[in-house]
Amino acid sequence: MRWTVLSQVVTGAVGGPLPEVAVRGVGKLALPIDAGQAKDLIYAGQPAPYGKGTNTVLDPNVRKATQIEADRVCFSEGWDATLRRLVTGVATALSLPGGGAGVEARLYKLLVYEAGGHFKSHRDTEKEPGMFGTLLVQLPVEGGHTGGQLSIRHLGRKESWDTAAPPAAETKAKGGRKSAGGKASGSQSGSAGKQAPALQYAAFYADCEHELHTVESGLRVVLAYNLVRVQKPAAAKPAKGAAAAAAAQPTMARPAISAASLKAVTEAVRAWEAAAAAAQPLVTLPLAHKYTEANLDFGALKSDDGVKVQALLQCPLLDVHLVLISKTVIGTSYNSGACYHKRRRRHFCWGYDDESDSEGYEDSEDMAETAVMDEIYDTDTATGAWISPLFGRLHQGASFYLPLEDSMLDDDEVFPDGLEPDDREYEGYTGNEGPTLTHVYHRAVVVAWLRSRRSQLLAKPGSLSDAIALAEQRLAQLRGSGSGGRDDTRAVGAARTKAQPYPAASLQQYLLQLEERQPHPVDDSRKQADAKQALQAVLDCAAKEVPVWMGGRPTVHKALTLFTSPGVAQLCGQQWQQQACVRVVQSLTAPATVWDLTQEGLPAAIASAATALSSTAFNDAVADLVARQAPRQPRDCYRLVAHEALPAALRVRMVQAFRTAVFGNEAAAAGNGTAAAVAGGSGCLAQMQATDVCFLAGLVFSTEGAAAAGAGAAAAPCSGMAGAFTAAVLRRGDCQALLQALLKEAAVRQALSTQPPEPAAVELVVARARYLEPRVQQGVPKLDFSMPNASCDDARVTEFLRSPNQSQKFGGFGSIVAARRWANAYQCAGGCRMHAAAAGSGRNAFVQLTKGRDIYNQQLAQYQAAVKELAEVRALVGAAPAAPAAGLAPAAVPGPNAGAGAAAGRVGGAAGSAQGVVVPRQQQANAAVKRPSDVAAVGAAAQQQRLHQAQQVPQARTAVVLDLTDD
Q: How many CA atoms lie within 13 A of 686 on its CB side?
A: 15
Which residues lie closer than 8 Å to 327 by C-beta, 6 or more apart?
379, 380, 381, 414, 415, 440, 441, 443
Q: How far is CA 447 from CA 268, 272, 321, 408, 444, in A?
A: 16, 15, 5, 9, 10
**Alpha helices by DSSP H, 303-425:** 304-313, 336-350, 354-359, 364-370
Tell which residue, 98, 6, 152, has the closest CA to residue 307.
Answer: 98
Nearest to 917 by CA among 872, 951, 870, 877: 870
**Which tens digits make up the pLDDT trace of 778-822?**
889 888 888 888 888 888 888 888 898 989 999 988 899 999 998
d(CA 207, CA 134): 10
DSSP H helices in 778-837: 795-802, 816-825
Closest to 504 in 3D by CA, of 453, 456, 466, 452: 466
Strand pairing partners for 909?
none
| Separation of CA 556 from chain center | 22
**In degrees, to the nearest 5, what angle opens at C-alpha 658 toward C-alphas 656 and 659?**
65
CA distance 699 to 535: 40
Residues of the chain with pLDDT under 50: 1-6, 169-194, 233-252, 336-361, 397, 482-502, 546-552, 593-595, 672-681, 705-714, 880-904, 909-967
Alpha-helical regions (H) of 895-960: 900-912, 921-927, 932-952
Q: What angle do CA 823, 829, 835 make, to 5 degrees?
A: 50
295 phi, psi to nearest 5 deg: -105, 0
Question: Which ranges in 642-745 belong to alpha helices (H)?
Answer: 648-663, 665-670, 690-700, 703-708, 722-731, 735-742
Helix pair 759-777, 735-742: axis angle to 10 deg: 120
| Beta carbons within 10 angstroms of residue 868's beta carbon | 15
Neighbours of 399 (CB within 10 A): 15
How many Cβ atoms are within 10 Å of 960's Cβ, its own excluded?
18
Sequence-ordered alpha helix ranges (H) in 630-676? 634-641, 648-663, 665-670
**Rounded percentage of the chain residues whose pLDDT exceeds 90:** 24
438: left (phi over 0), alpha (psi -120 to 50) or beta: beta
* DSSP helix, strand, coil percent of the chain (3-state; round to 5): 45, 20, 40
Question: Which strand (E) or helix (H) includes residue 618?
Answer: helix 616-629
* Fold classified for 9-165+197-229: Jelly Rolls (2.60.120)
Chain centre distance of CA 890: 58
Tens digit of each residue's pLDDT (9 = 90 or more) over 288-336: 888 888 888 888 888 788 888 988 998 888 999 999 988 898 888 765 4
- In the chain, CATH 3.30.1370 sits at 795-851
Query: Quick one: which of 286, 294, 9, 7 has its CA closest to 131?
Result: 294
Instruction: Return the closest-CA partner of residue 216 out of 163, 287, 267.
Output: 163
Q: How far apart are the first and last CA of the chain?
A: 102
Alpha-carbon distance of 785 to 808, in angstroms, equals: 12
Q: Are 635 and 597 in contact (CB under 8 A)?
A: no
DSSP state of 398: -
Q: What is the 3-state secondary structure (H, E, C) of 519-542?
A: CCCCCHHHHHHHHHHHHHHHHHHH
Of the candidates 517, 227, 495, 282, which has an alpha carbon nearest to the alpha carbon of residue 392? Answer: 517
Region of 949 (left: φ > 0; alpha: ψ -120 to 50; beta: rest) is alpha
147-157: b (≥16 Cβ within 10 Å) or e: bbbbebbbeee
Query: Are 851 and 828 contacting, i.e. CB atoms less than 8 angstroms apart?
Result: no
**DSSP string covering 828-888, please?**
TGGG--EEEEEE--GGG-EEEEEE-SHHHHHHHHHHHHHHHHHHHHHHHHT-----TTTTT
How many whole angstroms separate alpha carbon 726 and alpha carbon 724?
6
Torsion of CA 404, 409, 414, 419, to 10 degrees: 180
Tens of pLDDT, residue by residue over 425-469, are 877 666 556 678 888 888 899 999 888 888 777 656 667 787 888
Residue 385 to residues 326, 400, 609, 936, Cα–Cα distance (Å)? 10, 11, 43, 82
- Look at residues 806, 888, 817 and name the one whose alpha carbon lies nearest to residue 850: 806
If we measure between CA atoms, which residue out of 882, 686, 920 comes closest to residue 766?
882
Q: For residues 836 and 849, is the Cβ–Cβ distance under 8 A?
A: yes
**Residues spanned by CATH 2.60.120.620 within the chain?**
9-165+197-229
Contact indicator for 708, 715 with CB cutoff of 8 Å: yes
Q: Domain 795-851, what fold? A: Ribosomal Protein S8; Chain: A, domain 1 (3.30.1370)
Q: Radius of gyration (Cα) for the chain, nearest Å? A: 45
- How far is C-alpha 650 from the geometric centre of its chain's CA atoms? 41
Q: The dihedral of CA 752, 758, 761, 762: what is its sign?
A: positive
Count of CA atoms in the C-beta half-sphere (13 A) of 322: 31
pLDDT in tens, 608-651: 999 999 999 999 999 999 998 888 889 999 999 989 999 999 99
- In DSSP terms, which residues pair with 492 in a beta bridge? none
- Asked whether 320 and 309 are in contact (CB, 8 A), the reply is yes
Sheet holding 150-154, edge to edge: 63-64, 118-122, 209-212, 150-154, 157-161
Considering only CA atoms, which of 787, 942, 777, 946 is closest in space to residue 856? 787
Tally Cβ neighbours within 10 Å of residue 516.
22
**What does 142-159 look like in DSSP terms, one character per residue?**
TT-EEE--EEEEETTEEE
Long-range contacts, 861-867 (Cβ 8 Å, 24+): 862/775, 863/775, 863/776, 863/778, 863/780, 863/781, 863/950, 864/947, 864/950, 866/772, 866/775, 866/776, 867/776, 867/914, 867/916, 867/943, 867/946, 867/947
Angle at alpha carbon of residue 826, lines to 820 and 827, rounded to 5°: 90
Confirm if 629 and 589 have CB atoms less than 8 A apart: yes
The predicted pLDDT at position 759 comes to 92
Task: Return the amino acid letter for 100.
Answer: G
DSSP state of 910: H
